[in-house]
Amino acid sequence: MEKISKEQIKALFESKFLRVFDIQYAEGKHYYNATRRPADRLAAVMSREQFQNMVPDAVSCFVVIKEDGKEPVLLLTKEFRYPVGRYVLSVPAGLIDPEDENKENPQLAAAARELHEETGIVISETDSLKLVNPLVFSTPGMTDESNALVCAVVHLSGSFHLTQEGAVGSEKFDGFVPLTKAEAEQMLKTGRDAEGNFYSAYTWMALMYFVSGMWEA
* pLDDT in the model for residue 146: 97
pLDDT of residue 157: 82
pLDDT confidence band for 215 (50 / 70 / 90): very high
User: What topology does CATH give the domain 58-216?
Assistant: Nucleoside Triphosphate Pyrophosphohydrolase (3.90.79)
Q: How many CB atoms lie within 10 A of CB 147?
A: 26
> So where are the chain's domains?
6-52, 58-216
Q: CB within 8 A of 105, min separation 6: which ones?
A: 131
Mean pLDDT value across residues 81-91:
96
- State the Cα–Cα distance between residues 208 and 200, nearest whole angstrom: 13
Q: How confident is the model at residue 195, as a pLDDT?
A: 93
- Report, as an integer, the average pLDDT of 93-110: 94
176 DSSP β-pair partners: 77
**Do 78 and 176 touch, CB atoms closer than 8 A?**
yes
Q: Which long-range contacts (CB under 8 A, 24 or more apart) does 167-170 make?
A: 167/117, 167/118, 168/117, 170/82
Tell me, what's the pLDDT at 159?
67
Query: Is residue 101 over pLDDT 80?
Result: yes
Is the pLDDT at 1 greater than 70? The verdict is no
How high is the pLDDT of residue 118? Answer: 95
% of the chain surpassing 70 pLDDT: 99
Instruction: Give the model confidence (pLDDT) of 160-207 as tens digits.
Output: 889 999 888 889 999 999 999 999 999 999 999 999 999 999 999 999
Concatenating the DSSP letter of every residue in 94-140 gives: EEPPTTGGGSS-HHHHHHHHHHHHHH-----TTSEEEEEEEEEES-T
Residue 84 and residue 90 in contact, taking contact as beta carbons nearer than 8 Å: no
Cβ atoms of 32 and 23 within 8 Å: the answer is: yes
Give the span between the Cα atoms of 40 and 103, in whole angstroms.
Answer: 22
